[in-house]
Structure 1
């Protein structure tokens, strides 16, 4: 059992899904999953309904804790764990109605899931039972992006006559009868709530470190995984001073961009048998031309690097640049870095180095 167990629920105008899901996890499920924290993602109106109906001494969450003897549930939710989607102006949204609102909801959910899955001591359970359909989709997809083996996804199933019934928040310990809008009697009992587990594909190992460790938008995270699943493509853009690998910009200083361009140019323009190069026969003149095209003629660093490479590329300098290149692409791309690494070929003492991706996957812009 994980010491920190978090339930994340997307909700709209029906806060009942929170207590229904908590009941299914803490009472019905074996072994039980009793959340130490409950987090909600909702709109301004949804947040107000959650505060009024779930929190406090008379709230439904405390009633659930008391009736089913699960005291930990009483303190699992507080106002700080109710996360409200805000608009571009930073104000809480009463509803999600336009594409910009949708994007804000996606980013909030993605960042929350990223943060809640950061600790290996935490198990996260995500419920997509409430809220707008797009919110449920974003929550499920965010868990697919960041989820680990201990994390789970579900939807709570409630009979239509009890779903959104204003008096039904969880099954009572002793069955009782409620009345619907048409005065039809409805039997409320434990079997009225069922949790449907949803299998999902875990893609976390495909995310680069920067998206695991720092704040990321939904589009950035999805784009990173998309790059993993697509065919490799490398853009070396000397005109703009950038490297783009698999659709992901790889931050590099000019000296590293020039070094990458040196290898990309060889891969794109030379026959296969002539692509690989070692520090002994690497052409410093061509590297300096590429570097000058980035920083401009007469740049102060050009003279310093030219002096360093006056008699060829020193082994230590070559190895440092190569190792730095591979570290930068790994940090930016995670498991998708392999095609963009500078790889070794041949055995010592005849080891040489090259970019392994095919020539037609490289675009050079001057």
Structure 2
């Protein structure tokens, strides 16, 4: 199925970014979008409608001028106006809160346009232009595309020749001569203008992001935070003697048994010992090593738990049940995305399969010294 091509642009007061980018895409890339979407302010929408759409204005003139017969959808419904936290359309972006609202709208639009297609719908091929609007809007568009962009998506800026750039009457290089006036009274022929497409490479982080981030609705700041947590190195620090731990600065508490189990796994990893291998065919696995860890860190285990471990050892069902409880505690404290990167699970390490933490995690135990051994 042929991807649906979408041009997404951000703009402020001047809607020329649409026609300039469309002209460059047609002439340099032979790329004609099926649809154009514009993210702007209330004033920006008014200007876009008046200058590009009403009375067969410059958008339609460009298509006619260059013989584009393919349908390119661009109407008022394709213009997304940035709204504040109360749902009011913003005339302009003047405060930090306005900028935050713009970031949220841009991020959510990029997430939606790059999401997996629903059944019966074609996938999209997205081209994002960051040439218009305030500088922060362009930054947000580029950053969001870096987070959500796929291999087929592109990012660009347009470069317009001197004197024509930012001229209120210039929209694209026309095929026939058309004269416009400069502020100092000089005449410019729009057919002699030059518009170039500057494609901007960007780092695609999509494949490294958790699925919940790609599917859920988050504010821009939450997206950045979650993306950072999902891509940064994870550092797990245990403080077993007070029942606390921290992961990249976010703290939580565990029961004595959960802390003993986690400390046991961490100590084995730090000592380059094999992971905790599962019990096979009811094989008896002594619990002495786990109980020794609990004793060394003054972790007060329930008497019945201690007796069961001494008598029955570590069974498969006991291990799976308590690993599940430990992982649930991590999710509750850290959230699903960060917890996913430090969960205890069945893994293959070297030629051994067993229960262990991810091998890319940085581990440390406070209070673990040679004297304790």
- 1:38 is displaced (CA, Å) by 0.9
Aligned length: 342
Query: Aligned partners of 1:249, 1:213: CA distance in 2, in Å?
Result: 26
Normalising by structure 1, report the TM-score: 0.76
Query: Aligned partners of 1:112, 1:362: CA distance in 2, in Å?
Result: 44
Instruction: Determine whether 1:332 maps to 2:337.
Output: yes
Normalising by structure 2, report the TM-score: 0.75
Q: Given the alignment, which residue of 73, 96, 99 partners 1:99? A: 96
Q: What's 1:9 paired with?
A: 9
Deviates more, 1:264-273 or 1:163-172: 264-273
Bigger-Rg structure (1/2): 2
Deviates more, 1:59-68 or 1:308-317: 308-317
Query: Aligned partners of 1:22, 1:114: CA distance in 2, in Å?
Result: 22
**5+ long unaligned stretches in structure 1:** 290-297
User: Per-residue CA shift, 1:45-87, capped at 9, x if unaligned?
Assistant: 111111222224423212212121223455x212222111112
Q: What's 1:152 paired with?
A: 154
- 1:163 is displaced (CA, Å) by 2.3
Q: Given the alignment, which residue of 217, 220, 227 partners 1:218? A: 220
Q: What's 2:281 paired with?
A: none
Q: Given the alignment, which residue of 14, 34, 37 partners 1:36? A: 34
Query: Aligned partners of 2:262, 2:167: CA distance in 1, in Å?
Result: 64
User: Per-residue CA shift, 1:103-134, capped at 9, x if unaligned?
Assistant: 11111111110111113721110001110100
Judge conservation of contact 2:236–2:363 (CA < 8 Å) in 1. Answer: no
Distance 1:274 1:24, change over 3 A: closer
Judge conservation of contact 1:40–1:82 (CA < 8 Å) in 2. Answer: yes
Query: Aligned partners of 2:310, 2:50: CA distance in 1, in Å?
Result: 71
Judge conservation of contact 1:126–1:152 (CA < 8 Å) in 2. Answer: yes
**5+ long unaligned stretches in structure 2:** 118-122, 279-284, 295-301, 368-373
User: Per-residue CA shift, 1:308-340, capped at 9, x if unaligned?
Assistant: 9994554256347758959x7996259x83787
Distance 1:318 1:341, change over 3 A: closer
- 1:166 is displaced (CA, Å) by 2.7
- 1:91 is displaced (CA, Å) by 0.8
Superposed CA RMSD in Å reads 4.4
Residue 48 of structure 2: SS of its match in structure 1? helix
Query: Aligned partners of 1:77, 1:95: CA distance in 2, in Å?
Result: 22
Judge conservation of contact 2:233–2:362 (CA < 8 Å) in 1. Answer: no
Query: Aligned partners of 2:50, 2:261: CA distance in 1, in Å?
Result: 63
Residue 48 of structure 1: SS of its match in structure 2? helix
Q: Given the alignment, which residue of 66, 69, 79 partners 1:68? A: 66
